[in-house]
Structure 1
């Protein structure tokens, strides 16, 4: 059987290796679009900091890893998928047939519709090529403006700050990390970052970028006009699925998959950022673009492609972020549900915050800041859907008792895990 995998990021690599473990003699073709060996985008900030070299971003350090596993690698973009004839057309014109296809092409940066976005000195921070361009400019003292203070933006922010640049961050939302943090938590992160010498504008847009003076002139919606050497666009990502427009696969925001990661075509599977899968908490479709979710989906898809049987319990929203030493996290339905109860505790002087969201006597979501001891307990109670009983009232009175609640319900969790 011939397995073709589109995308050689973490999901594609894990899937290829899993198929090889289960099917030693099947043909596997792994297709990636960049010149570099398979690498982790999440390692790029560490490259910018200088903690690792480019080789340090590679997913597998042995140059012969894939050839030893008899996994064929190709550098190409897929331009068309034809489910009826089981063929993939590449940008080189080559047509590859498959028995099973995995689409794991990940996300791509959203390109904001801003005048001047294509000027030299304006870059996303998504590929190794982007990182090389940023490294040339982001030297100590360089003036840098970053558009976006979401999850990815905050990771980039930390890397830039470590290089001693003069950094300004512009975020459209009313707080930092608005898709991950509550209003109070996002506001505390902003205060923390500003105390580190970084200028942060929220509720603000970049309206135009022009060449001028000794660099780039950036006009903001708040009336400010800033001269910088480098603009980084970190305004979000979207599934990289444009090449599937004529495939007749079921696609909404992402590729629709079932609990086995199978698409609307029985011979095609999808994993990672391209998928729209079932949310663990709500049962509704969700694009959950985080690497742990991509890894789980890749293993499930690969197992099923190889003739086994594996299913997901649903994609759980899990976000853990380190912003200049301040750890924040959110899990599940962190924004709560209509009619649900919540409890919130804040210690702003210590940059500590916790909020728990309940639906009847179940913990369904949580947000925390500056508190790290209980992160596993929060995830455990949400993921097990355990009935809290009297512990709900105890947590409503004191949400910092989350570890005690977790330990008290350990037997139920063990049963769920088993």
Structure 2
């Protein structure tokens, strides 16, 4: 081992990008990328979409080829880190072995939030986060089967669309009064509910699950109002929780994520963090935010690598997200937190393409663009540049 080793914990989008960017920033010493899955690091967004629906193979999901890592001298280590000794700058692995580092990147990601009701341990109950999860779901997802999806967020709706396309009878249960309630305006929620119901998905809002029942294997889902829904499989998608235990045990500052500054630096000068496990004060929104977003993970990772390499950059990019459901491509620019006005371009009660612009104090802060890539690019530019907007122009194509 050389005298200057950079170790990255976590081999998903953020971790891989840190390793790649280190080489791009001129880091010539050892780079070790630790992941707890035996497969090559892979894209996660397609898991609930193209991969689940059988439209792509696992090989197509690889972030980089094995040859790439070898050529870039990025050592892949299939292991789990159990503790971080910051004073000795040493990691303890699950095997009991130790690994020294000079610079460390924490990219431990997040895990599915668990559903706290009876019956979640039955066979046929799944969470969707890894390729192995999807492979198990695909084996259980037989055409004509009945699936209940708990959670009407993006992961739940994407999974519903994929399984419906595979010919399953799909029911989505959402405890809130509308799907996507936490992240979209009512008009957008109503649109996705309409589209899913048109495709045969039974969407139930303001409903909650009391228990999952079966004899070893799931048989039915019992609702809080007493109704029972027959089910051959149940998929839980009620959000994620950041994997911060390793960082917290090491004494890093943690607050709903590993806290980082504008340079992806943690409270330890030799440790950076990026991705779903990291939380960052965003001046644009006036608060600390943990973004569960591949684009944001990538940007944080590039900044983290630059910090390690002694070439500090700043996290500045506008957050953006996307979702694919059936033939719908939703692209989201910015965060709509605190919006006080919505302007629609298009008619979501009739059309399959429209944009929902979110304003706060007359400033455009976010946009949901459904099958409107030009509006998405326009919105990113306007929000980033804080340009003034003309409501009449934004709403130009709205019809009664």
TM-score, normalised on structure 2? 0.92
Equivalent position to 1:308, from 311, 319, 343: 311
Equivalent position to 1:320, from 319, 322, 330: 322
Separation in 1, partners of 2:362, 2:39: 50
Q: Deviations over 1:79-115 (max 9, x none)?
A: 1112222121111111111110000111111111111
Q: Deviations over 1:351-408 (max 9, x none)?
A: 555443334453222334454431111121111112x1xxx4x31x353349xxxxxx
1:8-407 alignment, distance < 5 Å: 8-23=11-26, 25-44=28-47, 45-60=49-64, 62-212=65-215, 215-279=218-282, 281-313=284-316, 316-337=318-339, 340-344=340-344, 347=347, 348-351=349-352, 353-369=354-370, 371-386=372-387, 388=388, 392=389, 394-395=390-391, 397-401=392-396
The answer (yes or no) to whether the contact 1:270–1:301 under 8 Å persists in 2 is yes
Separation in 1, partners of 2:216, 2:29: 60
The answer (yes or no) to whether the contact 1:204–1:221 under 8 Å persists in 2 is yes
The structure-2 alpha-carbon separation of the partners of 1:81 and 1:161, relative to structure 1 and needing over 3 Å to count, comes to: same
- Corresponding residue SS for 1:175: coil
Could you tell me how far 1:172 is from its partner in structure 2? 1.4
Separation in 2, partners of 1:130, 1:141: 21
Q: Deviations over 1:260-279 (max 9, x none)?
A: 00000000000111110123
Structure 2's unaligned 5+ residue stretches are none
Could you tell me how far 1:24 is from its partner in structure 2? 5.2
Q: Would you identify which runs of 4 or more consecutive aligned residues in structure 1 move more than 6 Å?
A: none
Give 1:412's aligned residue.
Answer: none
The answer (yes or no) to whether the contact 1:78–1:89 under 8 Å persists in 2 is yes
Give 1:413's aligned residue.
Answer: none
The structure-2 alpha-carbon separation of the partners of 1:180 and 1:222, relative to structure 1 and needing over 3 Å to count, comes to: same
More helix per residue: 1 or 2? 1
Could you tell me how far 1:123 is from its partner in structure 2? 0.8
- Corresponding residue SS for 2:160: helix
Could you tell me how far 1:238 is from its partner in structure 2? 1.5
**Pairs aligned (count):** 392
The answer (yes or no) to whether the contact 2:252–2:258 under 8 Å persists in 1 is yes
Could you tell me how far 1:52 is from its partner in structure 2? 1.8
The structure-2 alpha-carbon separation of the partners of 1:5 and 1:222, relative to structure 1 and needing over 3 Å to count, comes to: same
TM-score, normalised on structure 1? 0.88
Separation in 2, partners of 1:400, 1:35: 50
Greater displacement, 300-309 / 358-367:
358-367
Could you tell me how far 1:39 is from its partner in structure 2? 1.0
Q: Deviations over 1:126-178 (max 9, x none)?
A: 11111111111112111111111212222222221111111111111211122
Structure 1's unaligned 5+ residue stretches are 403-418
- Corresponding residue SS for 1:102: strand
- Corresponding residue SS for 1:46: coil
- Corresponding residue SS for 1:272: coil
Greater displacement, 275-284 / 180-189:
275-284
- Corresponding residue SS for 1:167: strand
The answer (yes or no) to whether the contact 1:28–1:71 under 8 Å persists in 2 is yes
Q: Deviations over 1:30-86 (max 9, x none)?
A: 1001121111111223222112222112111x3332122221111111111122221
